Every structure is written in structure tokens, then in C-alpha cells.
Amino acid sequence: MARRPGAGLGLRARLLASSIVSDYLHDLFSLRGRRALVTGGSSGIGLGMAEAIGRAGADVVLVARRKAELDQAAERLRAHGATAATISADLAVRDDVARVCAEAGEIDILVNCAGNNIRKPMAELTPGDYELTIAVNLTAPYALGQHFGPKMAARGWGRIINVGSQQSISAFGDSGAYGAAKAGLAGLTRSQAEAWSARGVCVNTIIPGFVLTPLTAPAQAIPGRVEELAARHMCGRNGLPADFAGAAVFLSGDASAFVTGQMLFVDGGFAVH
């Protein structure tokens, strides 16, 4: 019978070994003393990442449009012992973005997860559709980065996580403006990383697979589509917001100090299957 690791150690030795491991993991992954701003933090991937970052010790500021959902999300974080504040704002409106910058205070970790996707054939997209999609998915992350990035660099430490899409690298039907925005977001990540990484600010993009969230509800409503997409993932299932907890904590902390300008695929193998 295989022996359990550490079974031959005395109690004192096991406690010491456990303490050493605990201290090591704390140094790598603890976010205590950090303050994070998470857009799109009231639901879906944004909420999953916010919850993980908060449970790892950071104070979290959630940003989204709907106050009732924001309040529910904040209570969910607080139930896990996290500190959570909220700012209700429409990131398609530049004055609202400026207000977020003013109200959020000093931020160490910026997570750009807010998104919208107007699903129309390319030929039917209006200039208004395009501009609204770009405003939320690309212009707002740019504006927030322009405000917080240089401040992080001046302090010598910061993290920016931009949440992209499979459409950052591939084309999908009936979402041309969204694809353009998400491809642009991956490019913005590289530009921000080039600008600020030498002064301690790591900037990366997370690329999800198909994730069961409110944003993907229209696709989920198509008969057979959820099963079809699940089969595209090597893991054999679609993603859930909880699948992004580990990546969120890793990219938010000291463990990722030499990771910047990258696309991290949290997609169950979707992109390579």
C-alpha cells in the first residue's frame, strides 16, 4: 500500500512542513494589501474572477450597469470574507468611465471584463452597433488603462487583465463588431505591456472558450448549440465562471511577475481542437 506523503514524519515535523508550504503559497498568491477594480463584475466571468481575487485577499471594486445585480455580487463576495465596493456605471459612456476612474481610488489590479455583443450578420451592422460594441469592449479598457496604468508604473507594481475571446484570434458568424473589438483588445494588451512592464506592470489577456454566462445566453438558446460547443472543447464541456478563479489569482499576484503581453487560454482546449 502506498504511504501518504509525510506519513513517516512526527507531528511537529508535519506542522513545520505545512507551515513552510503555507508561507510559500502565501508569498506567491496572496493578494492582501492590493485593491482590484473589476468591470463586468456583477455576473459571469467577471464575477467569478472578482470572487477569486477577493477571496485571495484583495479589496475589490465591482463595476457594472445594474445596481441591484452589483449589490448582490458584492454581498456574495462579503459572504466569503472579502471586502467589496460597487460603482454603477455604463462603460459605453465616456463620462461614466471618467467617474469610475475618479471614484475607484488607487488601484493595483485592473480587470477589464465588461462586454457586449450585438449579434447581427456583418452586412446588417449599423455604425451605431459598431461604435457601441467598440466603446464597451475596447475603448473603455483603453481609457481605464490610460488612467490606472501610469499610476501603477509610478508605484512600481501593477496588474492589468483584459478578458478577450476566441474572436481575439478567430472569426465567428454574426458578431463582426465584437470580433474586431476583441482582436483589438489583444493588441492593446501587448501595447500596454510594452509600455509599462519594465516598471512592474504586467498586462495579459485571458482567452475563454464558450462559457455559460448571461453574455452567451442567445447562443445557448439555439437548440443543440450548447452540446455542439461542448464537443469542441477537449475537456468535453463548456466553461463556467468558476473555471477562471485560478487564472485570475495567478495573473493578479506576484506569481506572474515574469508573465506579460501574453494570451492565456482558459478554454478547455477549444482553440486547438
Domain that holds residue 89: 34-272
Structure confidence at residue 22 (pLDDT):
86
**What mean pLDDT do residues 131-140 have?**
98
pLDDT in tens, 233-256: 999 999 999 999 999 999 999 999
Structure confidence at residue 165 (pLDDT):
98
Tally the domains of the chain. Answer: 1
| Residue 25 forms part of a structural domain | no
| Residue 18 forms part of a structural domain | no
Residue 220 — φ and ψ, nearest 5°? -65, -25
Residue 10 has pLDDT above 80, yes or no: no
| Residue 153 forms part of a structural domain | yes
Mean pLDDT across the chain, nearest whole number? Answer: 95
**pTM above 0.85?**
yes
Give the pLDDT band of residue 62 (cuts 50, 70, 90).
very high
Structure confidence at residue 8 (pLDDT):
57
**What mean pLDDT do residues 175-194 have?**
98
Residue 56 has pLDDT above 80, yes or no: yes
| Residue 194 forms part of a structural domain | yes
CATH code of the domain covering residue 184: 3.40.50.720
Residues carrying an active site annotation: 178
- For a pLDDT cut of 90, what percent of the chain falls above it? 90
Segments in the chain forming alpha helices (H): 11-29, 44-55, 67-79, 94-104, 127-134, 140-155, 176-196, 217-220, 225-232, 245-252
